[in-house]
Structure 1
Amino acid sequence: MSDVTLTEQAAGYEMQLTLTRQSQDVLLTLTGGDVSHYGVVTAVGSDGLHTIALPSRPGHVHQEGVLTEAIARILQPVLQGNAIITGGMHVNKISSVQMHAAFAMTKGLGQQAHDWLVAHPVAKISETFAK
């Protein structure tokens, strides 16, 4: 399966959410702004959400977990398996308007991914395990 890339634009910048599927699991990558990177990882499973924020600069960690967790909550009801969401977007000298736009764009991207997953379910592959 090839990747699916969803986009949203507002307040002078763009955010992207790329979705890749392996069997019933999905990997989503949220990037955008002036400097895309990998700053947080949110895992979504039947046991809930788990987020790891990586260092951004001395004494600080990346804050994109608020965005990846918002996407996770939108997708969790329709996931067939697990999801890993990585996030990293930076807007240089971000304004209050641009910061608020990030939340709206994230919600839009999450809803687009939700709708795509609902429209493209996959059959469970039979797994066998050693004894």
Structure 2
Amino acid sequence: MIEFTVTKEGYSIKAVVERQAQDLLIQLIGGDVMHYGVVTTVDKYGKLQTIALPSRPEHFHQEGLLTELLGHKIASHLQNNAFIVSGVHVNNISDAQMHVAPMIVLDLAAQITAWLKDNQVAAPEEIFAPSKNH
């Protein structure tokens, strides 16, 4: 596990990166209330899928803007799949803080990409049961 943190305009977003074989789990969390509200999956071919959960009645978490940005930036450096789980909430967020969030994520993406380049792992040997034709 490795962590990267970037702070701008008085708040921080942290990327916690964990690896299982060639797959990644990235927690993109920060602000005043860290939580989980969005999950984006991304494969090494750049295909993304995002699920946003309800944040309060008639509203959904908006962190997909950040998770998808991160996913697009790291996709070409993935060895396999990544799950990006996110929750970033800044109490009484200012316009300046909202506008720097993507810049924070771009900085985090650059750090994660550099780490991925320097920390490739061999593919594990996977053995599957023989197919049974009926």
* Structures share fold, TM-score greater than 0.5: yes
5+ residue gaps, structure 1: none
Correspondence for 1:83: 82
Q: 1:86 corresponds to which letter in structure 2?
A: V
Partner SS, residue 62 of structure 2: coil
Larger radius of gyration: 2
TM-score normalised by the chain length of structure 1: 0.96
Of the three residues 7, 18, 35, the one matched with 2:16 is 18
Following TM superposition, the consecutive aligned residue runs of length 4 or more in structure 1 with deviations greater than 4 angstroms are none
TM-score normalised by the chain length of structure 2: 0.94
TM-aligned CA deviation for residue 47 of structure 1: 6.7
Residues 27-76 of structure 1, C-alpha deviation per residue, up to 9 Å, x if partnerless? 00000000000010000124710000000000000000000000000110
Partner SS, residue 41 of structure 1: strand
TM-aligned CA deviation for residue 8 of structure 1: 0.2
TM-aligned CA deviation for residue 4 of structure 1: 0.3
Greater fraction strand: 1
Correspondence for 1:103: 102
Partner SS, residue 34 of structure 2: strand
Correspondence for 1:92: 91
Partner SS, residue 80 of structure 2: coil
Correspondence for 1:123: 122
1:65 equivalenced with 2:98 (yes/no): no
Instruction: Give distance in 1, aligned partners of 2:116 and 2:17.
Output: 10
Root-mean-square deviation (Å): 0.8
Evaluate the alpha carbon distance shift between residue 47 and residue 105 of structure 1 in structure 2; reply closer, same or farther with a 3 A threshold: closer
